[in-house]
C-alpha cells in the first residue's frame, strides 16, 4: 500500500482540523490513526485501506470501538486518496462502497462530462452532488447486472431499477436526475437517447408541507415574549430568527457576524442550499434578539459564526443541534405533544402559507424565501385552503341521489 502521499501531506489535514476548531481529543485520534496506517500498512502485506481495516479487525472486541475506528480510517482514506477534508455533515465514504470508483471507464466519463458541463452553467454544489449521486447509483445497478456499457443497457434493466415486484421503489426525482445526466451526453453517446426513452413516465407527486397553526404560533410568541423565558438567549434568538425570517437551518448555522449590516438593518447571506445571494431586512425584533445574545451570552471566541456552542472548544452549531433546540422548546411549551411534524422547517412553511393567504405576489415570496424559481412555491399552494375553495365548482346543476351526503 502506497502511503507516500499521506506521509507527505498529513500535516495539512491536522492543520485544517485545528483551524476548524475540532477538539484536541478528536485531532489526537486522527493523528494516532495516521501514525498507525503509516507504520502498520508498510510493515504488513496490505494493498488498500479495506485490507488495512481487515488487518486491525481482530484487535478490537467491542463493536462500538471498531465502528469508531472504522470512521477514523475513513476520514484518513478520503483525505489520502481524494484530498477530501472532513466536515461534520459528511459521511466518511469508508462505511459504504465507493460506487463511482467501481464504475466502468465509459460510465465514469459520462458522469464526468455532466459534472464539467453543469459547473460551467453555474449550478449549485448541492444540485451537482445529488444529481451525480443518482447517476452513479443507476450505472452501478446496471453494472451489477453485467451491463458495463450503454449499448448493453436494456429497457427491462432500466425499468427494473425503478420498479421492484410491481411497485415503484425510486420516484420522479431520481428519474429526472438520471435523465439530466444522460441528456448532457447526447452528442457524445447517442445511446443516451435510447435509454432516456426507456425511463418510466413517473408523476411528480408533491407533498403537502406541514405548517404551524395560528394557535401554535401565538403560544410560541407568548413564550418568547416573556421577560425571562426558560431558555438561553442563544436558543431564543434562533427561534425568533427562524420565525420572522424563514431562514433554513443550514443558513442560520453558517450565519457569520459580518453577514449582519447593523448600519442599514440588513442581513446578507449566500444560501448554503442554492449558492444564491439573499438579502433580508433586519427587523427590530430579530436585531434586538441577536444583539442581546452577542452582548450578554455569546462566549469570547475567534470563531466568526453568530451562534456558538457552549463546549470548552467554541465553534459554530451544527444544523442538527439547531433543529434539536427547536424541538426541545416545542416539547417544553407542549406544542404537538401527541405527535406530528416538528422542527425548524415548520416556520419556513408557515411564512410561505401566511404570505400566500394574504395575497402577496409569488415573486415577492420567492425573494423572501430565497427560492431559485417561483415554481418552488407551487408545493405551498396545497395548504392555501381559502384560495383552493375559490377554485371549487358548484354541483347545483348536477343531480345527486338522495342520501349521498348523509353521514
**Is the same domain home to 237 and 381?**
yes
Confidence band, pLDDT 50/70/90 cuts, at residue 104: very high
**Residue with the three cell numbers 465514504:** 93
DSSP string, 91-134: --SSSS--HHHHS-HHHHHHHHHHHHHHHHTT--HHHHHHHHHH
**Is the same domain home to 227 and 338?**
yes
- Is pTM, for the whole model, over 0.75? no
**Is the same domain home to 227 and 302?**
yes
Does residue 399 form part of some domain? no
**Is the same domain home to 171 and 243?**
no
- Residue pLDDT, tens place only, 116-129: 998 888 777 778 88
- Residue pLDDT, tens place only, 309-320: 887 667 888 877
CA distance 254 to 318: 9
Are 181 and 355 within 8 A, CB to CB?
no
Does residue 394 form part of some domain? no
**Is the same domain home to 68 and 142?**
no
**Is the same domain home to 257 and 182?**
no
Higher pLDDT, 2 or 89: 2
**Is the same domain home to 252 and 301?**
yes
Does residue 355 form part of some domain? yes
CATH number at residue 222: 1.10.443.10
Does residue 385 form part of some domain? yes
Number of domains in the chain: 3
Does residue 345 form part of some domain? yes
Does residue 48 form part of some domain? yes
Q: What is the pLDDT of residue 258?
A: 94
Confidence band, pLDDT 50/70/90 cuts, at residue 67: confident
**Is the same domain home to 263 and 368?**
yes
**Is the same domain home to 113 and 234?**
no
Does residue 59 form part of some domain? yes
- CA distances for 333 relative to 127, 329, 330, angstroms: 37, 6, 6
**Is the same domain home to 250 and 330?**
yes
CA distance 109 to 107: 5
Residue 196 exposed, middle or buried by CB count within 10 Å (0-12, 13-18, 19+): middle
**Is the same domain home to 189 and 230?**
no
Please give the residue range of the domain that contains residue 135: 99-198
Query: In this model, does residue 196 exceed pLDDT 80?
Result: yes
Q: What is the pLDDT of residue 207?
A: 60
Q: Which three cell numbers stand for residue 34?
A: 495516521
Are 267 and 116 within 8 A, CB to CB?
no
What is the mean pLDDT of the segment spanning 205-226? Answer: 79
**Is the same domain home to 53 and 184?**
no
Pairing outcome for strands 266-270 and 277-281: antiparallel
CA distance 343 to 349: 11
- CA distances for 258 relative to 20, 255, 272, 367, 372, angstroms: 18, 8, 16, 21, 24
CA angle 277, 279, 280 (to 5 degrees): 145
Amino acid at each position: 500500500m502506497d502511503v507516500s502521499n499521506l506521509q507527505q501531506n498529513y500535516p495539512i489535514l491536522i492543520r485544517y482540523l485545528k483551524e476548524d476548531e475540532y477538539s484536541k481529543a478528536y485531532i489526537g485520534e486522527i493523528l494516532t490513526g495516521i501514525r498507525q496506517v503509516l507504520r502498520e500498512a508498510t510493515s504488513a502485506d496490505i494493498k488498500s485501506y479495506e485490507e488495512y481495516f481487515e488487518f486491525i479487525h481482530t484487535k478490537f472486541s467491542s463493536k462500538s470501538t471498531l465502528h469508531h475506528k472504522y470512521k477514523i480510517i475513513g476520514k484518513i482514506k478520503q483525505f489520502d486518496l481524494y484530498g477530501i477534508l472532513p466536515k461534520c455533515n459528511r459521511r466518511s465514504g469508508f462505511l459504504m462502497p465507493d460506487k463511482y470508483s467501481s464504475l466502468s471507464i465509459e460510465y465514469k466519463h459520462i458522469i464526468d462530462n455532466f459534472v464539467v458541463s453543469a459547473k460551467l452553467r453555474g449550478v449549485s454544489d448541492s444540485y451537482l452532488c445529488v444529481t451525480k449521486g443518482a447517476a452513479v447509483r443507476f450505472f452501478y445497478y446496471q453494472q451489477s447486472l453485467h451491463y458495463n456499457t450503454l449499448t448493453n443497457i436494456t429497457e427491462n434493466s432500466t425499468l427494473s431499477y425503478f420498479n421492484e415486484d410491481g411497485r415503484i421503489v425510486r420516484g420522479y426525482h431520481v428519474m429526472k436526475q438520471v435523465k439530466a445526466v444522460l441528456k448532457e451526453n447526447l452528442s457524445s453517446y447517442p445511446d443516451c437517447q435510447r435509454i432516456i426513452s426507456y425511463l418510466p413516465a413517473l408523476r411528480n407527486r408533491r407533498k403537502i408541507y406541514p405548517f404551524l397553526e395560528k394557535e401554535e404560533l401565538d403560544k410560541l410568541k407568548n413564550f418568547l415574549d416573556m421577560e425571562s423565558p426558560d431558555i438561553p438567549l442563544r436558543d431564543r434568538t434562533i427561534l425568533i430568527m427562524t420565525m420572522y425570517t424563514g431562514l433554513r437551518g443550514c443558513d442560520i448555522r453558517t450565519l457569520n457576524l459580518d453577514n449582519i449590516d447593523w448600519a442599514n438593518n440588513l442581513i446578507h447571506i449566500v444560501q448554503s442550499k442554492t449558492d444564491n445571494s439573499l438579502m433580508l431586512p433586519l427587523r427590530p425584533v430579530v436585531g434586538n434578539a441577536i444583539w442581546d445574545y452577542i452582548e450578554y451570552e455569546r462566549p469570547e471566541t475567534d470563531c466568526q459564526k453568530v451562534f456558538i456552542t457552549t463546549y470548552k472548544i467554541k465553534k459554530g452549531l451544527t444544523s442538527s443541534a439547531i433543529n434539536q433546540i427547536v424541538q426541545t422548546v416545542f416539547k417544553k411549551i407542549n406544542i404537538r405533544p401527541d405527535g406530528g411534524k416538528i422542527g425548524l422547517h415548520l416556520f419556513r412553511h408557515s411564512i410561505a402559507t401566511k404570505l400566500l393567504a394574504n395575497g402577496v405576489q409569488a415573486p415577492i415570496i420567492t425573494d423572501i424565501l430565497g427560492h431559485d424559481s417561483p415554481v418552488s412555491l407551487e408545493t405551498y399552494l396545497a395548504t392555501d385552503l381559502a384560495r383552493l375553495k375559490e377554485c371549487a365548482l358548484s354541483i347545483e346543476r348536477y343531480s345527486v341521489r338522495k342520501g349521498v351526503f348523509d353521514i
